[in-house]
A and B are shown apart, each in its own frame.
Chain A
Amino acid sequence: MTTTSAISLAEVYRFLAHAMQYPERSWFGEDFLSLFCTFLDELGWDADRAALAFPKQLSSKDIELLQVDYTRLFINSVPHVLAPPYGSFYLAGGGILYGASAEKTRNFYREHGFDLALASDIPDSLTNELQFLSFLRELGEENVELEFTRTHFRPWFCKFSTIVQREANTPYYKAVVKMIDFFTMEDE
């Protein structure tokens, strides 16, 4: 890994964490989409870019489609929630939020000088882990970043990502998850 990038990976991690927030007009607008699409362009992911097909002016219906998809994928749904974005759901002894592996994740944060902002938060949520990676990258702790990615993040994220790719109704979530996959993959 390198720290002499033109674009900071720390910022990319943060951007990806941001992209996984519940979609609301307050942030999911023209600016965000323009940046997101530029990412897709630069990555050369033309099919993903084309599939997005957002109009210039997002309507309430466009946002609602994303909200419904987000709710069914990540929160609650009938028939059932599909891909809770929390590590321990996917790991050994899993099927539970805040399982034993989440505790290990939090310990990892603490050992490296970080912790949850809110005691009631879940340590191994996708957004928390991406934010943590961004901090490590900023600090130049690339070995720690690598260790975290290998031992904590990728083991569950890959399972999560497979489900989202299969189940998402909106191309946006397929693209975000693909992007997270790309940026958390180890460099050869």
Chain B
Amino acid sequence: MALTLTRRKFLQTASLAAASIPLSKVTAGAQPGVVKKSYPAPGSFTGTESKPSVCEMCFWRCQIVGKVRDGRLVKLEGNPKSVDNGKSICARGNAGVQLLYDPDRLKYPLKNIGERGKPVWKRISWEEALDECATRLKAAQKNHGPHSLAIFPHGASAKYPMQFFEMTGTENVSEASFFQCRGIRDMGYVSTFGFAPGENVDMAHAKAMLLIGTHIGENIHVSHVKSYLKGLANGAKLIVVDPRFSAAASKADIWVKIKPGTDTAFMMAIMNYLVVNNKYDKAFVEGSCEGFDAFREGIAHATLEWAAKICDLAVAQIKEVAELLAANAPNVSIHPGRHVSWHGNDFQRMRAHACLTAILGAYAVPGGLIKPSSGIKLGKVGWPKGEHDEEFSLTGSHKFKPPGMPTENIKKAMLEGKPYPIKACVCWGQNPIQTIPGQQATIQALKKMDFVMVVDVMPTDITMYADILLPEGSYLERYDYIKNGLAGWQPGSDTAVGYIAPRMPVVEPMFERRDQVWITNQLAIRMGYGDKIPVQSLPEMMDQMLAPAGLSIAKMQAMGGIHTQPAKAPYAPAGIKEHAFKTDSGKIELYSEVLSDAGFPAVPTFLPVEEVPEGFARLVYGRSPVHTFNRSQNNRWLHHEIPENPLWINEECGKKMGLKTGDRVHCENQDGIRSRTDTVVMLTPGIRRDTVYMAHGYGTMNTAMTVAKDQGVDDTSLISKVVVDPETGAHGMRNNFVRLIKNGKTLNIPS
């Protein structure tokens, strides 16, 4: 029968009588995915809908609309109602479509029946997945105490579960945004101004801007870049301090090619010069600052000559920068930066940023540091606070840590069980393999856990170490973050526009992806905290948060996703130099007794960093404009634009090494760790001889990311020497050094 059998013949002649059940019965209960529906008459189809939401391809949260045709997202655009980013979004924002429909995305709960690091996945039901997570997390807490859970969250959706786990009794939370990124900045400013600065400098109305290591243009945030470009278009002078000729440096009036790790010395010398030469804002310092005399004494040694030697700069250039800032004060933007976890001496640098801002009087004035507020109050919804015994705090000596616990202390407890064992771990949207330095130790720590639960959108590196892996809806499939901001202010006017824009789903989640409130509540019920659940669903949470503003999801939908209302400009009345701040003294603390009492330098102090060893160059990393987080790594459109991260090498050095642009090299660091993959060399005069540079976040090791796997070099894999900022406990990640391997041959970098 087989050879000549056709479908027709089979149907005519075959008998299924031998089967124990009729054909029709087997499929009787199945729910069809395709059903009969009335035929939509041509012309009645409503066409493309515009669904408002908020982007999360990076944390800037531009307001967007998704063009949805027949249930399928076909395009993302800036929301034309936006007073912030307007109609513009960046390349990553556009490419969110590819994230949504990436075939590599996580789709169903998975159980690892292989080993951590070499997973064998089996799809399981949500019921089974949640039961297992709850049982095993509870077991760890029962056997080793409530503090024996480590939580690694990231992104807007991780807040609700993070609060839940904190309520269960663990403070051992490490957010990459704090301990590997901006936490030091926030704490440096909190210790000085009493508030975290965000990136809130009024660049659009500045007369001069100082960017220290901030490479706007490569690091794209739409309204931020617009504000910077507006400032430049208005004639603002630009000073860029960077060992590399970054996109910003290419637009600068002064490019300060500083030796990495010495920026604090540079700023101290500028401050000292301004003070000594009476070029600081005396009225502002008198009205708003505390401890000026001690501050002046504390930085008196920081002469231009002293700094020039440390920073490998010309005295004249530092003076030129100081003069330019003084000439344009107070309308100067001393940009606080974003990723500041550089050298393990970073808190002092951030204090220097803040103090320089203060003595220039660059606060609440056009161009200065501002505190924009929409004036729109939103409700707070969250879990009750947990009880945390001081005895189990892992703060250690890092008294000025950002929220959470220093990552290195958590890792130690995971690895060594000291001061107590951490035995289970939850990663929610964070990929600690590529965020935390000391990759091998991180992997060892994960392997020591009794249980690892991971919730993510993509199969990032960390998912390989999960026991249970849960699929979350992406930002295009869920509610969550409500952007609350201010726009449209102008010097000389009191008014501005306050706005809020909630993230709302553009399409429904596919497969069995679930949102954070559902997952967390289900876990809570199983772990015995059902009575403490604050909200039943994400839409309910949104409505509760919007209610104080007299708004709701339905109203936000009806008004196109954005609510605006008149608000106040972020400037003090002209001439006002006396301000109050939420610090201990109520003033800006140029000299901080709180720091002094805790045993830390009370005025900004330069702490030298390790010198580059012979034959190596310092590895410095930064952003690619098409790539931010793991969620942008595997994106076909973005990958097509910049598929790998070229290694910038000083042209002269490269030539001496026999390299040319386009060669492929591996990197080897000072501890003999080699990059798994190679990347392309880019020779350029635009980088110091002692420094090499690459964009961060390439070279994922998880082969399940079929686009991104092994593309470019994973910079984190080369950061094996771990340094920790003493005040904050956050990491410093630019104290590692590399040389190159080409065709198996080691190439030292000439000094």
Contact = CB atoms under 8 A, between A and B. Distances in A.
Given A43-B14, A128-B33, 4 more contacts: A35-B16, A67-B122, A78-B118, A114-B35
Interface residues on B, range: 35 or more
Interface stretch (A17-25, A151-159, A160-168): A17-25
A41 interface: yes
Contacts of A15: 23, 26-27
Nearest to B35: A117
Contacts of A110: 37, 39-40
Contacts of B72: 98, 102-103, 106
A97 interface: yes
Given A22-B123, A35-B19, A78 B464 contact: yes
B107 A75 contact: yes
A78 B703 contact: yes
A62 interface: no
Report the 5 A-B pairs with minimum CB-CB distance, sorted nearest first. Answer: A44-B2, A5-B11, A79-B703, A120-B508, A115-B37
B507 A120 contact: yes
A127 to B, nearest CB: 6
B103 A81 contact: yes
B37 A114 contact: yes
Contact of B71 (A2, A12, A119): A119
Given A14-B30, A128-B34, A95 B702 contact: no
B12 interface: yes
Given A21-B30, A35-B16, A121-B510, A103 B70 contact: yes
A147 interface: no
B31 A117 contact: yes
Contacts of A71: 110, 121-123
A53 interface: no
A51 interface: no
B34 A80 contact: no
Contacts of B12: 2, 4-6
Contacts of A128: 33-34
A85 to B, nearest CB: 10
Given A44-B5, A115-B35, A127-B33, A39 B16 contact: yes
A117 B34 contact: yes
B155 interface: no
A45 B34 contact: no
Interface in A8-45: 8-9, 11-12, 14-15, 17-18, 21-22, 27, 30-32, 34-35, 37-39, 41-45
Contacts of A21: 30
Contacts, number: 216
Given A11-B27, A22-B123, A131-B34, A99 B101 contact: yes
A76 B703 CA distance: 11
Interface in A113-135: 113-122, 125, 127-128, 131-132, 135
B127 to A, nearest CB: 12
B676 interface: no
A183 B7 contact: yes
Given A6-B14, A68-B113, A102-B72, A32 B26 contact: yes
Q: In this complex, which of B14, B27, B104, B508 has the most chain A Cβ atoms within 10 angstroms of its Cβ?
A: B27
Interface of A: 1-2, 4-9, 11-12, 14-15, 17-18, 21-22, 27, 30-32, 34-35, 37-39, 41-45, 64, 67-68, 70-72, 75-81, 84, 86, 89, 95-99, 102-103, 106-107, 109-122, 125, 127-128, 131-132, 135, 182-183, 185, 187-188
Contacts of A131: 32-34
A71 B122 CA distance: 6
A115 B45 CA distance: 13
28 contacts: A2-B11, A6-B13, A7-B16, A11-B23, A12-B11, A15-B27, A17-B27, A22-B123, A31-B21, A34-B19, A42-B10, A64-B122, A72-B120, A76-B104, A76-B107, A76-B108, A78-B702, A80-B704, A81-B706, A97-B510, A98-B510, A99-B101, A115-B37, A116-B34, A117-B34, A131-B32, A135-B36, A185-B7
B233 interface: no
Interface string B12-52: 11111011110111110111111111111000000000000
Interface string B302-335: 0000000000000000000000000000000000
Interface string B214-235: 0000000000000000000000
A96 B123 CA distance: 21
A72 B121 contact: yes
A67 B121 CA distance: 9
Contact of A106 (B10, B70, B121, B507): B70
A164 to B, nearest CB: 15
B615 interface: no
Nearest to A44: B2
Interface of B: 1-2, 5-8, 10-16, 18-21, 23-27, 29-40, 69-72, 74, 98, 100-104, 106-108, 110, 113, 118-123, 459, 464, 507-510, 636, 702-706, 709
Contacts of A114: 34-37
A81 B703 CA distance: 9
A81 B31 CA distance: 26
B459 A34 contact: no
Contacts of B5: 43-44
A69 to B, nearest CB: 10
Given A76-B106, A107-B70, A114-B36, A38 B508 contact: no
A68 B120 contact: yes
A128 B31 CA distance: 11
A110 B122 CA distance: 35
A14 B72 CA distance: 26
A8 B24 CA distance: 10
A77 B121 contact: yes
Contacts of A81: 103-104, 704, 706
Contacts of B37: 110, 113-115
A132 to B, nearest CB: 5
Determine which residue in A12, A76, A118 has the highest number of CB atoms from chain B within 10 A of its CB, and name it.
A76
B630 to A, nearest CB: 15
Given A78-B464, A114-B34, A121-B33, A43 B10 contact: yes
B255 to A, nearest CB: 41
B113 A117 contact: no
B34 A132 contact: yes
Contact of A38 (B19, B27, B30, B464): B19
